[in-house]
Amino acid sequence: MLDDPELDDDDYDALLDELRALEAADPLLVTPDSPTQRIGGEPVSSLPKVRHEIPMLSLANARSEEELRAWVARMRAHLAREGIEQPAFQFVCEPKIDGLAISLRYEDGILAQGATRGNGEIGEDVTHNLRTIPTIPLRLNPTHPAPPVLEVRGELYMSLQDFAALNERRAEAGLSTFMNPRNAAAGTIRQLDPRLARERPLSMWSYGIGRVDGLAFEGHWEALQWLRAHGFRVNEDIRLLQSEDEVVAQCLAWQERRGSLDFEIDGVVVKVSDLELQRRLGVVGRDPRWAIAWKFPPTTKVTTLKDIMWNVGKFGDLHPFAVLEPVHVGGVTVKLATLHNEEDLARKDLREGDEVIVLRAGDVIPQVLSPAPHATERPDRAAPPRPPERCPACDTPTVKPPEGVFTKCPNRICPGRQWQLLKHFVSRGAMDIDGIGEKQVYGLQQAGLVRTPADFYRLTAEQLVELEGYGEISATRAVENIAESKGRPFGRLLFAIGLEEVGFVTGRNLAQRFRTIDALLAASAEEIEQTSGVGPKMAQKICEQLADPQLRTLIEDLRSVGVSMELEGPPPGEGPLAGKTFVLTGTLPDLTREQATERIEAAGGRVTSGVSKKTDYVVAGASPGTKLAKAERLGVAVLDETGLLALLG
Ligand code: IVH
């Protein structure tokens, strides 16, 4: 099954590397269904038109139980007019995914062409992008003989999680955000350069077959089962139902579940399964008589944009958000919504006091889409919003860096900025302080006990007990956890103190390159640029921040409370594990994966993802992946946690 891969990701990557090397040595070995082809080939210069041999139809809608029952009555009336005996209908109920329809043509079992629906008759060739999508098979499962021609149809979509992450990245980069996952998917699939599609994860649910040669199915239900058996992703929750009543109940059940799915659906598609009956029922205009879309109530509402306010981010960026007249939409009451950035705000032309359209579907963060129709015609409309001249959290005059998209609060110790920094500081990838989460940080900041990250290290259990949510035991434990975090690897500290451009990996690389905070603080931009993964612009930015007196104060303050500021262990190429390569698999009893990696690296060893003959040790914990089997096959030494700790001495 596509959702349940036989190999774990790392093993897959290792095999892929091997295959890539083979293909590079002998290009004749490259087949169109080779997994290396998923990487996406060269950009195309245009999207050629593709005529669909069998038109891609649309669907009539039903918005209520009555309309659904009326549809069944219309089918019965049509069959009666044609003199056909009344059947016992079998219905297939499927989610109506809110994406875009595509058609995939397989020739002798190999993906030959993929196209958008277009106007139903003519679409566009987007094969280069479709190839990059992991849920689209490049080849049919070879367990059955492949039909000479098979056209599979389905819906392309972006998951809600991927959509939210994509918009966040775009907002950060000052790019326009997508209105909804459907637009994001549509915008992606029509790109000329397949590398873009690869970076924006898309997926597909298959829901039907167009042309097929050399195969016959009795019903749509059987066709879907066949597709699933041949490697296509068919929703697990589709149902074959025997009566109108069951169909109504199923539609209502999907409506209930709508908000808990990881993709957007805007209804349920109900199809008569029997293909012979489908043929007899035929098509009216563009809509087949044998299918209907039960549409959910809309998830957009109109409300008043009461205020546009600004939040301060970790690096001082001012992010606009909307304060709305509370409105019930998509199953929840929405009072606040993100507005992403200034340019997005200007593009949407939103003003305080406007009637606006608010969208909330599934888990998508509520969004303000646009002013409501006619809202922009009001004579007394407010002026376009402007970012505040003074920081809303600390009143410092704001600045707009020429190269940036965000107006900024330049004050490093601004409480708004500190709140974001403090949350980041204790978070998992950073100093990883157990027992201090967002709620506790808020309480500590409100109580005036913690203003900067160094203040965490001065807290006592007595102070914590005074706060809501702490008992004696949990307070003592939190203080112990805070103290324990003083010894976190230097790279994590560099990440935790909130430097722009310094993520987890860059933090680790800087730590490895400079080894102590003093060496880093003394480094020039040119020297910082020598760090792996750091370019000239980034180096300049890091260097500037390290010179900031407020940051220097924070560093000295952290040093004074005993936070470790140097890389432990031997220099590169030295240490007990120098030159040794490790692969981790499964869950170790005590160490997390990051901890094990850090310990191995601190001893001079290297941790890689895939097992090969060059691997020195595989460290296996509970429920190991296929890496363990592979290690055994290749004769690579296998250790458990105790064995690893012994090696580490
Ligand atoms: S069948 C036979 N099944 O809805 C009619 N369409 O309104 C052809 N859609 O263009 C479509 N989920 O993009 C069908 N399970 C599903 C669907 C589905 C979403 C979309 C599809 C189509 C549109 C028609």
d(CA 63, CA 248): 11
What spacing in Å lies between the alpha carbon of 51 and ligand 1's midpoint?
18
Question: Using one digit for the tens of pLDDT, what is the confidence trace for 47-92?
Answer: 999 999 999 999 999 989 999 999 999 999 999 999 999 999 999 9
Does residue 355 register a pLDDT over 50?
yes
Chosen domain end from 322, 355, 376: 376
| Within a domain: 394 | no
Token pair listed for 218: 């009795």
Ligand 1 in reach of 207 Cβ (< 6 A)? yes
Chosen domain end from 242, 269, 295: 295
What spacing in Å lies between the alpha carbon of 202 and ligand 1's midpoint?
17
Tokens 């929750």 sit on residue = 237
Atom of ligand 1 nearest to the CA of 95: 15
Question: Using one digit for the tens of pLDDT, what is the confidence trace for 323-345?
Answer: 999 998 876 789 999 898 888 89
Q: Same domain for 468 and 588?
A: no
Ligand 1 in reach of 57 Cβ (< 6 A)? yes
List the CATH number of the domain containing 636.
3.40.50.10190
pLDDT at 127 (0 to 100)? 94
Q: Same domain for 117 and 266?
A: yes
408 included as an active-site residue: no
d(CA 407, CA 341): 9
Q: Same domain for 268 and 233?
A: yes
Ligand 1 in reach of 291 Cβ (< 6 A)? yes
Closest CA to 102 of 217, 216, 250, 203: 203
Ligand 1 in reach of 96 Cβ (< 6 A)? yes
Question: Using one digit for the tens of pLDDT, what is the confidence trace for 599-624?
Answer: 888 888 888 878 898 999 999 988 78
DSSP assignment letter at 262: S
For residue 312, what are the β-bridge partners? 318
For residues 198 and 40, is the Cβ–Cβ distance under 8 A? yes
pLDDT at 3 (0 to 100)? 42
Q: For the chain, give me the number of helices (H) and strands (E)? A: 24, 22
Ligand 1 in reach of 421 Cβ (< 6 A)? no
Q: Indicate the helix (H) or strand (E) that contains 149.
A: strand 149-157
In this structure, the residue with its CA closest to atom 6 of ligand 1 is 96
Closest CA to 583 of 539, 614, 537, 562: 614
| Within a domain: 32 | no
Does residue 373 register a pLDDT over 50?
yes
Q: Same domain for 372 and 520?
A: no
Closest CA to 504 of 518, 488, 519: 488
pLDDT at 603 (0 to 100)? 87
Does residue 439 register a pLDDT over 60?
yes
Total domain count, the chain: 5
Contacts of 231 (CB under 8 A, 6+ apart): 2, 137, 139, 140, 141
List the CATH number of the domain containing 276.
3.30.470.30
Q: Same domain for 156 and 118?
A: yes
| Rounded average pLDDT over 443-461 | 95
Instruction: Please report, in angstroms and rounded to a whole number, the separation of the first and last CA atoms in the chain.
Output: 43
Q: Same domain for 95 and 207?
A: yes
Ligand 1 in reach of 293 Cβ (< 6 A)? yes
pLDDT at 569 (0 to 100)? 75
Ligand 1 in reach of 75 Cβ (< 6 A)? no
Atom of ligand 1 nearest to the CA of 271: 2
In this structure, the residue with its CA closest to atom 23 of ligand 1 is 58
Atom of ligand 1 nearest to the CA of 100: 13
Contacts of 256 (CB under 8 A, 6+ apart): none
Does residue 121 register a pLDDT over 50?
yes
Angle between helices 181-189 and 160-172 (to 10 degrees): 80
| Within a domain: 176 | yes
Q: Same domain for 324 and 469?
A: no
d(CA 465, CA 447): 12
What spacing in Å lies between the alpha carbon of 543 and ligand 1's midpoint?
54
| Within a domain: 406 | no
Beta-carbon count within 10 A of 271 CB? 23
Angle between helices 549-560 and 536-546 (to 10 degrees): 70
What spacing in Å lies between the alpha carbon of 59 and ligand 1's midpoint?
7
d(CA 39, CA 128): 10
Burial of residue 86, with CB atoms counted within 10 A of its CB: 0-12 exposed, 13-18 middle, 19 or more buried: exposed
d(CA 514, CA 391): 35
Share of the chain above pLDDT 90, in %: 62
Which residue range is the domain that position 88 belongs to?
60-295
Q: Indicate the helix (H) or strand (E) that contains 637.
A: strand 637-639
d(CA 483, CA 137): 51
Ligand 1 in reach of 155 Cβ (< 6 A)? yes
What spacing in Å lies between the alpha carbon of 97 and ligand 1's midpoint?
8
Round the CA-based radius of gyration of the chain to a whole number and report it.
29
Average pLDDT for the chain: 90
Ligand 1 in reach of 58 Cβ (< 6 A)? yes
d(CA 214, CA 431): 61
Higher-scoring residue by pLDDT: 626, 37 = 626
DSSP assignment letter at 378: -
In this structure, the residue with its CA closest to atom 21 of ligand 1 is 101
d(CA 44, CA 36): 18
| Within a domain: 21 | no
Does residue 119 register a pLDDT over 70?
yes
- Backbone phi and psi for residue 602, each to the nearest 5 degrees, phi listed first: -65, -25
- Backbone phi and psi for residue 223, each to the nearest 5 degrees, phi listed first: -60, -40
Q: Chain centroid to CA 230: how far? A: 27
Check 96, 314, 348, 630 and give the catalytic one. 96
| Mutate-to-test residue for ligand 1 from 57, 58, 116, highest number of ligand atoms within 8 A of CB | 58
For residues 222 and 212, is the Cβ–Cβ distance under 8 A? no
Question: Using one digit for the tens of pLDDT, what is the confidence trace for 152-197?
Answer: 999 999 998 899 888 888 887 777 788 788 989 999 999 888 888 8
Atom of ligand 1 nearest to the CA of 288: 2
Closest CA to 564 of 555, 575, 551: 555
Q: Same domain for 205 and 123?
A: yes
| Within a domain: 51 | no
Does residue 298 register a pLDDT over 90?
no
DSSP assignment letter at 230: T
Tokens 């609060």 sit on residue = 409
How wide is the angle at C-alpha 494 spanned by C-alphas 492 and 496, nearest 5°? 65
Which one of 179-193, 545-559, 620-634 scores highest in mean pLDDT? Answer: 545-559
Ligand 1 in reach of 453 Cβ (< 6 A)? no
pLDDT at 1 (0 to 100)? 37
d(CA 547, CA 124): 53
Helix, coil or strand: residue 592: coil
Does residue 570 register a pLDDT over 80?
no
Question: Using one digit for the tens of pLDDT, what is the confidence trace for 231-274?
Answer: 999 999 999 999 999 999 999 999 888 878 889 898 999 999 99
pLDDT at 40 (0 to 100)? 59
Q: Same domain for 547 and 592?
A: no
* E strands, 394-492, in order: none
For residues 50 and 115, is the Cβ–Cβ distance under 8 A? yes
Tokens 């939190």 sit on residue = 478
For residue 620, what are the β-bridge partners? 585
| Within a domain: 20 | no
Does residue 644 register a pLDDT over 50?
yes
| Within a domain: 314 | yes
d(CA 126, CA 193): 10
Ligand 1 in reach of 157 Cβ (< 6 A)? no
Q: Same domain for 169 and 284?
A: yes
What spacing in Å lies between the alpha carbon of 152 and ligand 1's midpoint?
13
Q: Same domain for 69 and 191?
A: yes
| Rounded average pLDDT over 428-440 | 89
| Mutate-to-test residue for ligand 1 from 269, 271, 278, 295, highest number of ligand atoms within 8 A of CB | 269
List the CATH number of the domain containing 316.
2.40.50.140
Confidence of residue 5 (pLDDT cuts 50, 70, 90): low
List the CATH number of the domain containing 461.
1.10.150.20
| Rounded average pLDDT over 433-440 | 90
CA 530 vs CA 120, 275, 495, 503, 542: distances in Å:
55, 66, 18, 17, 13
| Rounded average pLDDT over 491-497 | 95
What spacing in Å lies between the alpha carbon of 35 and ligand 1's midpoint?
29
Does residue 198 register a pLDDT over 70?
yes
Chosen domain end from 295, 321, 350: 295
What spacing in Å lies between the alpha carbon of 58 and ligand 1's midpoint?
6
Q: Same domain for 255 and 371?
A: no
Does residue 457 register a pLDDT over 90?
yes
Ligand 1 in reach of 443 Cβ (< 6 A)? no
Higher-scoring residue by pLDDT: 6, 477 = 477
pLDDT at 638 (0 to 100)? 93
d(CA 502, CA 509): 10
